[in-house]
Structures are given as C-alpha cells and as structure tokens.
Homo-oligomer: A and B are copies of this chain.
Amino acid sequence: MTNDPLHMITYSDQVRVLVAVDCIIFGFDGDQLQILLIKRGFQPAKDQWSLMGGFVGKKETLDGAAERILFELTGLKDVYLEQLSAYGSPERDPIERTVSVAYFALIDINTYKTQISDRYHAEWFLINEAPSLIFDHNNMVEEAKKRIRYKAALHPILFELMPTKFTIPQLQNLYEQVYNAKIDNRNFIRKVNSTDLLIKLTEKDKSSSKRGAFYYTLDKNKYKAKFQSFLNFIPNPENLIS
C-alpha cells in the first residue's frame, strides 16, 4: 500500500497534483446582490463562464493566493475573504487533476476598480440570473450562498457588502435578497438599532423616496468587537437555510 505512512521514508512515490484557488465574489451596489464571473479566454472550456481562479504559486499560502486573485480581478485589498471548502474530486478538471480551495469574498461594488478587471472579461450578474459555470463551480457557488445565509443569520457579515454610507432600507433590501424573503420593516429596524453597530449621519439619501432615508456608517470598532456575537437578525433561520 503506497499510502501507508508507516512504510514511507520519503514522499517520493506519491502523486503530485495542481492546487488552485477559486473565488466566489459577491458584490452589492446598494441595490442588487451580484456575483462576479469571468469568461474563460483559454482552453478547456474556452468562452464559458467561470469563477475567477488561479494556481497557487510556489511560495504562496492559500490565503495569499486568494488575496492575489481577488486583487487581480477587482483591484481590491483588505476585503472580507473566507475559505469555503476544498474540492478534490479526481475528475473535476478534465485536463489534469486539480484540487481547488474555494474562497468567498464580500465586496462593495462601488469600490470595485473596473479598469483592472477588463482584461479578464469579468462581468457582474444578478445572483439569481447567473449563467451556468464550468467544472464544479456551480456547486461551489451554491455552497457559498448557503454559507453566507447561515453565517449572516448569526453574525453581521452582510455589512461587508455595504457601501461606506448606506441606508437602513438598503440594508434590509440586501437581507431580503440573501434570504429571498420579505422581512418586517419595523422589527428589522429595531434589531439593527439594538446592535448599536451603526452611526447615524445627518445626510439623507433621497433617491428612493420623497422623504429620504438617513445614511449610516458602520462603527468598525464595535463591529469587530461584536462580530462573534449571535445577533439573530433572522428569526428561525433553519427554515430559510438551504
């Protein structure tokens, strides 16, 4: 048995495989939840839609590779990035066996640098209108959505998607898109306010109503401090997840 650690002195008789990183990049523009995809410009699966990915470099960590790939596509650094899972089915890449470590990112689309991404033929898609993807990328996206729903029910990660200035109706809109559910407006405001995470600004956004909605910013310190708290924004999330 070649995989038996007891009888191995070196690793010489083991298979080496490619290791890649794929990023599921979620974005919000204050209105719609979107996902960033690229059209592959090379074989295999040329001209098909795909997640942004790449191989892990010689001296790179997995997190480092994910950060690099995200930066190459969006021009952004210091973005919320979390490892989703590793995918390693032997047939997942038809050219050569490749283990892929998937990461998901949450970004504010307004900070996205479009000029950098042009060379990758990147495009934003509404979360419910995204095309079918190559290999097992559809599965990765599904699992990423599930993870976000799970996590956002308990922790304030969706704030990572919001613009620096945002309104509470915008925030509620995002939650409604993530959970595909209508949320009671009065209860939502109460919960958001009770977290004490937001700082109310004097300025208003008048684009969506006559009265206008106050802008808020995130109190970053409180956000970091309370991130692990179980906020329970979403009542009975188990009814909505998956």
Contacts and interface: CB of A to CB of B under 8 A. Distances in A.
A110 interface: no
Interface in A89-128: 89-90, 95-99, 101, 119-120
Interface in A1-30: 2-11, 14-19
Copies of this chain, count: 2
A56 interface: yes
A240 to B, nearest CB: 11
Interface residues of A, number: 54
Main SS of chain A's interface residues? loop
A81 B187 CA distance: 39
A14 B18 contact: yes
Interface of A: 2-11, 14-19, 40-43, 53-62, 68, 83, 85-90, 95-99, 101, 119-120, 228-230, 236-238, 241-242
Counting from the closest, the 10 A-B pairs by CB-CB distance are A16-B16, A62-B88, A86-B86, A14-B55, A86-B101, A3-B54, A228-B238, A229-B238, A61-B89, A19-B99
